[in-house]
Amino acid sequence: MFGRRDPLAAASVEAAPERRRRIALVAAALLAALALVLGASLAAPADSAHAAVPMAKPVKPGKPGGGNGGGSGGGTTELAYAAVGDSFASGVGAGSYLDTTCYRSTKSYPKLLDADADKALVAFSACSGSDTADVIAQAASVPSTAKLITVTVGGNDVGFADVMQNCFVLPNSSCATHIANGAAAVESDAFAASITDVITTLRTRAPAAKIVVTGYPLLFWENASGVNPKYTWADEVNDETVALNDRIQSVAQSGGAVFVDVEGVFAGHGIGSSSPWINDWRWLSQTNSFHPNAAGYVAYANAIRAVPLS
């Protein structure tokens, strides 16, 4: 479908039943792996997936003047920073993974922000496959002294994996239905309530923290659908991503959180562009597909840095 020989099509021309059986097993394994990576319900349970990875980094000099920023001590003015959320918060797509359960990356935006002189990442429990209920569970890792919390969540609640699989990986006639289902979920009271619950839980956990909720980039270049037939549904998916971001923004701001819109900073860098910051689908790199690359996470980090901390 994406310029590679389709293993399912190859199976149809094999004469030997044993050969067909082996290929069917391979295809099933690929689809199972896809569901895991894109955020389906096959993600690991909370005990393993939501445990924050150990924080180990060089000691950074604090700003002149002393003060207590709640960071790593020693007179530093670093703010204690916690990062929760889904695969876009854990850094899926950037490589250099710290684990193979949640795919937290050293190139994720939380780790990039941790390198700043004014922030100390004290909890990093973001995990691939997480929805809002999972992120509420992740909140247990956030210390009460946290002064900054970032969160990216919502895509898995509205069927991100289903849309990607049925519209772009193995496109079929159910694509439009999955997009429509996602759109309906975005507009539902239940979705708004789930985002509110995330913010409320984080606020209760760390009352003095600034909560920064990030949106999602548009995955596809705006002209992608006219350039390549494999992007037929790209414009529709981008439109629904805008609606998703608008809904998250409205609810987050109503709950007293700061919303960071990354649509603009990713403009011109979607899949199909000459300089993509989003990884296209690859059978041999399923983990990274449909997520930002390292340059994309730099853009995320820069957008968050623009938020005043005081």
Positions annotated as catalytic residues are: 87, 291
**3-state SS, one letter per residue, for the chain:** CCCCCCHHHHHCCCCCHHHHHHHHHHHHHHHHHHHHHHCCCCCCCHHHHCCCCCCCCCCCCCCCCCCCCECCCCCCCCEEEEEEECHHHHCCCCCCECCCCCCCECCCHHHHHHCCCCEEEEEECCCCCCCHHHHHHHHHHCCCCCCEEEEECCCHHHCHHHHHHHHHHCCCCCHHHHHHHHHHHHHCHHHHHHHHHHHHHHHHHCCCCEEEEECCCCCECCCHHHHCHHHCCHHHHHHHHHHHHHHHHHHHHHCCCEEECCCCCCCCCCECCCCCCECCCCHHHCCCCCCECHHHHHHHHHHHHCCCCC
Residue 122 burial (C-beta neighbours within 10 Å; 0-12, 13-18, 19+): buried
